[in-house]
Structure 1
Amino acid sequence: MASACGCGPAPGVPSWLLAAARVAPSWPAEPAAATVLPAAHRMRSALDFRRTIRSGVRSGRSTLVVHAHRPAGAGDSATKVGLVVSRAVGGSVVRNRVKRRLRHLAVPLVAETPGGTNVVIRALAPAASADSLAEDLGGAWRGCLRKLAAYAPEATGPAR
């Protein structure tokens, strides 16, 4: 018993050149400014989170708290950024949206931070609906850097 396709050959759909040009992405892609926090700048170690929160300085706003710590001997290693967004902020969709916003907002701030600094951003419940998240993060981040600069002589001294 032989089997065959029940469909007959069909002519190809004609292409409209203007539509194809409008839909096709331009190549090469235009280089955009970095909007994603690079993997080298992401804090992953629980020990780094713990040390930064417990041993560092902090600065807070109504939507978030920023903790910063510069370990002795950090040198010019990459600045590491960690995020803490608890369930108090909202459900998983809301928490992930807040994390994406904070990562995006942290990119330009990392450039002005001394190398080797660890920063943890802890989002508070109002962060989910705050329009002032960028201003709050910038102010708290710079406040931490000022405190860290004042605290620096002890941090860069000999280890005891």
Structure 2
Amino acid sequence: MLPTRHRLTERRDFATTIRGRGARRQGSSLLVVHARVADATQTDARGDDSPRVGLVVSTAVGNAVTRTRVKRRLRAQVAPLLADLPPGTDVVIRANPAAADAESHELGAALRHCLRSVLVERAR
């Protein structure tokens, strides 16, 4: 489970992270990672600059049991990576249908690769 301060919950925050100004994305066959580093006014408005993560696992991934398993695995893989994310970063992880058949270590490897790529692209 992710602590509350590290969760994206508002629809507006998801939309801004996916389509907003300065948003970047990187994908693999298992998942797509969208990331956006908030500017000073946004982090001041929410009173915290902790990185936040949101998950999108649609019905295309599978039934409720499968979707819940994928979400649980993704949360477990992203939790140790929060300390490495820049302050004010919002991340949305969207699972592709292939994620249903993936093992935890495969999801973790894809997540680390996509995060690293999107943050390096952001630094340019």
- The TM-score with structure 1 as length reference comes to 0.69
Of 35, 42, 46, which aligns to 1:68?
A: 35
1:115 and 2:80 equivalent? no
Which aligned pairs between 1:9-158 and structure 2 lie closer than 5 A?
A: 36-55=1-20, 56-73=23-40, 74=43, 77-131=49-103, 132-150=106-124
- The TM-score with structure 2 as length reference comes to 0.88
Shift in Å at residue 38 of structure 1? 1.3
- Can you give the 5+ residue segments of structure 2 that lack an aligned partner in the other structure? none
Q: Distance in 1 between matches of 2:66 and 2:74?
A: 12
Runs (4+) of structure 1 exceeding 2 A deviation are: none
Letter in 1 for 2:28: R
- Can you give the 5+ residue segments of structure 1 that lack an aligned partner in the other structure? 1-35, 151-160
How many residue pairs get aligned? The number is 115
SS of the aligned residue for 1:118 comes to strand
Q: Which has the higher strand share?
A: 2
CA RMSD across the alignment = 1.2
Q: Distance in 2 between matches of 1:37 and 1:139?
A: 21
- Residue matched to 1:7: none
- Report sequence identity in percent: 48
Shift in Å at residue 72 of structure 1? 1.6
Shift in Å at residue 69 of structure 1? 0.5
Q: Which has the higher helix share?
A: 2
